[in-house]
Chains A and B, each alone.
Chain A
Amino acid sequence: MKEMMLILVGAALVNNVVLSQFFGLCPFLGVSKQVKTAASMGGAVIFVITISSAAASLIYDFVLVRFKLEYLQTIVFILVIAALVQLVEMFLKKTSPGLYQALGVYLPLITTNCAVLGVVLQNVQKEYTYAEMGWKALLASVVNGFGTAAGFTIAIVIMAGIRERIAYNDIPRPFQGAPIVLLTACLMAIAFFGFSGLI
């Protein structure tokens, strides 16, 4: 239990996916204009990453390792994630139109998000595998995925909150638009650096 908590906190805060690993920067900058849409994006990311970590972990442990095809992990994970997102989208559209509407365009957007692929590859790299940990590997992968996605959500929602306030500021002309956003991201990254002593 303690181990899982450490994985969770480590993934969400200490090794924040956006601010210290620089994954998923595109939606972080693109969809962070309003807190509401940023939160929807975060929700969709949590949803997709958690499910795809579980699926990728199972496929790695019971298909790739078995056939000694570990070197094919990248291509297989891409395939699995893309198919999974499609499947989830269809499922949601049929069973829960409300949630489908709320996630909207963000769900298919995440299919090609490097943060998703990054997490499942990291799960293997950090040896959350059946060979190392047994069945706990599945749990560790899911917790790591969830933590990473939660970290993404935290970062993007904070960013959106700051950007909503920046919108009314009198910003010098050269800094308007992208530069001020990148500077904000930079200061946030420095702030998050403070978490590095936590674990």
Chain B
Amino acid sequence: MNIMGVVSAAFVIGIIGLLVGFLLVGAAARFHVETDEREEQVRSLLPGNNCGGCGYAGCDALAAAIASGEADTSACPVGGNRVGKAIAKIMGVDAGSSVRKTAFVKCAGTCDKTRKKSNYYGVKDCRMAVVVPGRTSKKCTYGCLGYGTCVKVCPFDAIHLVDGIAKVDPKACKACGKCVEACPNSLIELVPYRSMYRVQCNSNDNGKAVRAACDAGCIGCRACERACEYGAVTVENNLARIDSEKCVGCGACAEKCPTKVIRVERN
């Protein structure tokens, strides 16, 4: 066995390693790019899903935007209040309290309640289905098409198809807004997580047409508007709308609703 071979091998590898190391250290000093140290701290607080819910290209991009003052400290919808506060502390500003939101599908037209007018055998994607003449296989053109485009875009597995309509799991929902953008019927809305009463219909048709299409639609009878003592419910274009700022959660509207389309959330 040639001991010199071992020594020279170790020596050469060692020298190469050392040279490479010095080269990298030199390069790091030479090509050093100034970054805001707050940017790195903010980045370490962000969730790191890179969901893009904030509107930036990812968590890195949002961290840079927050550090430069371009974005709000509570801009991350996923991290919510807790992350917003921690970031505000780093940035040295007051955190405005943000209300936790959740996505909500404004349709209750499950398979047993809504009626069909045709059969659709095309691509199982809502954005494809709406370009077919007639828009949807259901009689109601405003409601959930039920091909699950929102289910596919949700990065948090918070939407599922239940009985032919999309249903949001509010606990899993991070209110990133991807489904809101994806729905071709603009059916999904971000509502406060705590809001108790929500109108589960999107139809602007008159009462007769709604009744013909679906058992769970808003017929625009204005019973809820009259029942509300706080002026939180308004009916426009044959559709009730609840202002969550004014709503105190008394439940008078849901009680009076003849089609039971005002949903009572228990949370």
Q: How many residues of B contact A (CB 8 A)?
A: 20
CB neighbours (8 Å) of B27 from chain A are 86-87, 90-91
CB contacts under 8 Å to B, within A65-81, are 67-69, 72, 75-76, 79-80
Q: Give which listed residue, B9, B20, B31, B125, contacts A90 with CB less than 8 A.
A: B31
Q: Decide yes or no whether A93 CB sits under 8 A from chain B.
A: yes
Asked whether A79 and B31 contact (CB < 8 A) given A69-B8, A72-B9, A86-B24, the answer is: no
Closest chain B residue, CB of each to CB of A59: B16
How many Å from the CB of B140 to the closest CB on chain A?
24
Say yes or no for A83: interface residue by CB 8 A criterion: yes
Taking CB atoms and an 8 Å cut-off, the chain B residues in 8-41 that contact chain A are: 8-9, 12-13, 16-17, 20, 23-24, 27-28, 30-33
A79 touches B17 (CB 8 A): yes
Cross-chain pair count, CB within 8 angstroms: 50
B248 at the interface (CB under 8 A from A): no
Partner of A93, one of B8, B13, B31: B31
Interface string of A84-119 (1 = CB under 8 A from B): 001100110111000000000000000000000000
Point out the residues of chain B lying under 8 angstroms from A87, CB to CB.
Answer: 23-24, 27
The 28 sampled A-B contact pairs (Cβ below 8 Å) are A59-B16, A63-B16, A64-B12, A67-B8, A67-B12, A68-B5, A69-B8, A69-B12, A72-B9, A75-B13, A76-B13, A76-B16, A80-B20, A83-B20, A83-B23, A86-B24, A87-B24, A90-B24, A90-B27, A90-B28, A90-B31, A91-B27, A91-B31, A94-B30, A94-B32, A95-B31, A168-B123, A169-B123
| Closest A-B pairs by Cβ, 6 of them | A94-B31, A83-B20, A90-B31, A168-B123, A90-B27, A67-B12
**Chain A interface residues toward B at CB < 8 A:** 59, 63-64, 67-69, 72, 75-76, 79-80, 83, 86-87, 90-91, 93-95, 168-170
